[in-house]
Amino acid sequence: MDAVRVEGIGKRFPGVIANHDISFTIESGTIHAIVGENGAGKSTLMKILYGVQKPDEGSIWIDEAPVVLNTPSDAIARGVGMVFQHFQLADNLTVLENVVLGAENVAGIGAAARRRVQEISDQYGFGLDPDALVASLGVGQRQRIEILKVLYRGAKIIILDEPTAVLVPQEVESLFRNLATLKEQGHTLIFISHKLDEVLAVADRITVVRRGTCVDTVSPEGVTSRQLAELMVGSELPSPEAGESTVRDEVVLDVRDVGLDDAQGRAVLADIDLHIRAGEVLGIAGVEGNGQTELVEVIVGMLEASRGSMVLAGEDISKWSTRKRRASGIGFVPEDRHRHGLLLPAPLWENRILGHQTRPPSARRGLINRRGAKRDAQRIIEEYDVRTPGIDTAAGALSGGNQQKFIVGREMSGQPRLLIASHPTRGVDVGAQAQIWGHIRQARREGLAVLLVSADLDELIGLSDTIQVMLRGRLVGTFDPRDVTPQDLGSAMTGAEGAA
């Protein structure tokens, strides 16, 4: 029996054809992966299946019956649920409260709801405590809460958008066990991911989307990750390997005894010592919430360190403003591109100016240089393969990968001394990922110092000259990427006994 069938789906936006004549079938009780580059049309297609957007043409069948999905409520009523890449949880509420929120009509808000949440958690091996505060839970547990939410609402077809993006290897293995149980219980899973090795490990069938249309549906037994990448982008892709060392003697950033306390006086960062030389990539690994974000924001100047010193190219920047640090040669790719990287309603040429408003080509004689900003925005679009109708397109209209490529292009401009890259390829496809890797490698060869924070352990191992692990606000281990495995890093990141 077919759980989902789409025929001839098309969706257009001003200047962009997001989907064109998309047709495929998903069998009931299987894990069906959808892969493709950013901007290939995957997100639009999933939003259509979940009722967030309406197609301009084509038809949808759920359980072999034609349906019209005008809203997510229509999709939920048909047994379709969606787990979004960015968790939609309230940290100050319990697991039970987060699950019940918005679904009070299912089993009320009392004892019956509690029993139902516990039953689902036990049935699928989630191991969740209904009374646990979400703020106290790890990333893997939060992922399971999101799945529990859609199961609580009666979903038999579950769309998972980049479900492993922020998980360490051990958490990925746990998630895959949960997905296998869901499949055994008769659920149909639609798995969206850029991690092709994971797709091959978990999927029963794989549909490849390129430039808004389906190019093939294949079995994982018949393809390799390289072949999938070729289907996605039309060419073979490089690995993240950094090649021979380009590290020079010059220390670009020297951080000594840096600490950061929260409002209650508790140490968020403690005794941070690191230095990065010209031509070096220093990788930082850690489960999210262990201080990586705060470390980055202290170096950029968004947070003021409680103690310690930071020296950039021989100058103490500890008391400098963010603006002065940026003007002195710090490029910054933030982990949250929407919050700290872009003005989504603004056109791309205006986004070119952000953080660079005092320097050419965005400024001239103390004033904003619109012509220079527009010209350089066009250069970034061409050099970094940002797929957009033009420089006047709003940043929010671009896919995530194209937004990221534009930010990387902007931050690489002006020959920075130090690039702080926080999750630079999160949520981007293999094509955009390879391009970003290439730009980092090239800048490294030219002497750029890079602080690379990433949840992608293969990326850290492939690009870094040295990897340090953060745990509970401290640097707890230093590893040579030439002889460390993702499992070694995962053990150190979780504080497992015997980790280096």
CA distance 425 to 430: 9
Are 157 and 266 in the same domain? no
| Both structure tokens of 232 | 């996605």
Q: Which residues contact 77 (CB under 8 A, 6 or more apart)?
A: none
Q: Rounded to an integer, what is the distance from CA 121 to the centroid of its chain?
A: 26
Q: Which residues contact 249 (CB under 8 A, 6 or more apart)?
A: 277, 278
163, 198, 233 - which closes a domain: 233
Are 312 and 373 in the same domain? yes
CA distance 331 to 334: 10
233, 262, 296 - which closes a domain: 233
pLDDT of residue 400: 79
Q: What is the CA radius of gyration of the chain?
A: 23
Total domains, the chain: 2
Domain that holds residue 38: 2-233
201, 233, 265 - which closes a domain: 233
Query: Do residues 25 and 2 make contact, with C-beta atoms less than 8 angstroms apart?
Result: yes
Are 228 and 331 in the same domain? no
pLDDT of residue 294: 94
Query: Do residues 63 and 27 make contact, with C-beta atoms less than 8 angstroms apart?
Result: no
Please check whether residue 242 lies inside any domain of the structure: no
Per-residue pLDDT tens digits of the chain, which is 500 residues long: 899 999 999 998 876 788 899 999 999 999 999 988 766 788 889 999 999 999 999 999 999 999 999 999 999 999 999 988 777 888 899 999 999 988 777 777 778 888 889 988 888 888 889 999 988 887 778 888 988 988 888 889 999 888 887 676 777 888 888 889 889 989 999 998 877 888 999 999 999 988 788 889 999 998 888 788 888 876 555 555 656 778 898 999 999 999 999 888 889 999 999 999 999 999 999 877 789 999 999 999 999 999 999 999 999 999 999 999 999 999 999 988 888 899 999 999 999 999 888 888 888 888 889 999 999 999 999 988 898 889 999 999 887 788 999 999 999 987 899 999 999 987 677 777 888 898 888 888 999 999 999 988 888 999 999 999 999 899 999 999 989 988 888 888 887 644 44
Report the 3 state secondary structure along the chain. Answer: CEEEEEEEEEEEECCEEEEEEEEEEEECCCEEEEEECCCCCHHHHHHHHCCCCCCCEEEEEECCEEECCCCHHHHHHCCEEEECCCCCCCCCCEHHHHHHCCCHHHHCCCHHHHHHHHHHHHHCCCCCCCCCEHHHCCHHHHHHHHHHHHHHCCCCEEEEECCCCCCCHHHHHHHHHHHHHHHHCCCEEEEECCCHHHHHHHCCEEEEEECCEEEEEECHHHCCHHHHHHHHHCCCCCCCCCCCCCCCCCEEEEEEEEEEECCCCCEEEEEEEEEEECCCEEEEECCCCCCHHHHHHHHHCCCCCCEEEEEECCEECCCCCHHHHHHCCEEEECCCHHHHHCCCCCEHHHHCCCCCCCCCCCEECCEECHHHHHHHHHHHHHHCCCCCCCCCCEHHHCCHHHHHHHHHHHHHCCCCCEEEEECCCCCCCHHHHHHHHHHHHHHHHCCCEEEEECCCHHHHHHHCCEEEEEECCEEEEEECCCCCCHHHHHHHHCCCCCCC
Are 356 and 257 in the same domain? yes
CA distance 95 to 149: 9
Please check whether residue 82 lies inside any domain of the structure: yes
pLDDT of residue 6: 93
pLDDT of residue 89: 87
Are 224 and 371 in the same domain? no
pLDDT of residue 499: 45
Are 304 and 166 in the same domain? no
pLDDT of residue 127: 85
From the list 145, 147, 152, the residue with the least C-alpha distance to 179 is 147
CA distance 279 to 252: 9
Query: Do residues 453 and 421 make contact, with C-beta atoms less than 8 angstroms apart?
Result: yes
Are 205 and 349 in the same domain? no
User: Using omega within 30 degrees of 0 as the cis cutoff, is the peptide bond preceding 361 cis?
Assistant: yes
Residue 64 sits at φ, ψ, to 5 deg, of 65, 20
Please check whether residue 500 lies inside any domain of the structure: no
CA distance 208 to 125: 31
Q: Which residues pair with 4 in a beta bridge?
A: 26, 62
Are 28 and 177 in the same domain? yes
Are 270 and 321 in the same domain? yes
CATH of the domain at 347: 3.40.50.300
pLDDT of residue 140: 79
CA distance 325 to 296: 13
Are 148 and 95 in the same domain? yes
Residue in the block written with tokens 């492939």: 462
Residue 274 sits at φ, ψ, to 5 deg, of -155, 155
CA distance 113 to 134: 17
Are 460 and 336 in the same domain? yes
Are 371 and 430 in the same domain? yes
pLDDT of residue 224: 86
> Contacts for 487-495 with beta carbons within 8 Å, 24 or more apart?
487/169, 487/170, 489/168, 489/285, 489/457, 489/460, 489/461, 490/168, 490/169, 490/170, 490/457, 492/285, 493/168, 493/285, 493/286, 493/287, 493/290, 493/469, 494/168, 494/170, 494/287, 495/471
From the list 400, 459, 34, 435, the residue with the least C-alpha distance to 237 is 435
Please check whether residue 238 lies inside any domain of the structure: no
Please check whether residue 499 lies inside any domain of the structure: no
CA distance 242 to 246: 9
CA distance 292 to 323: 21
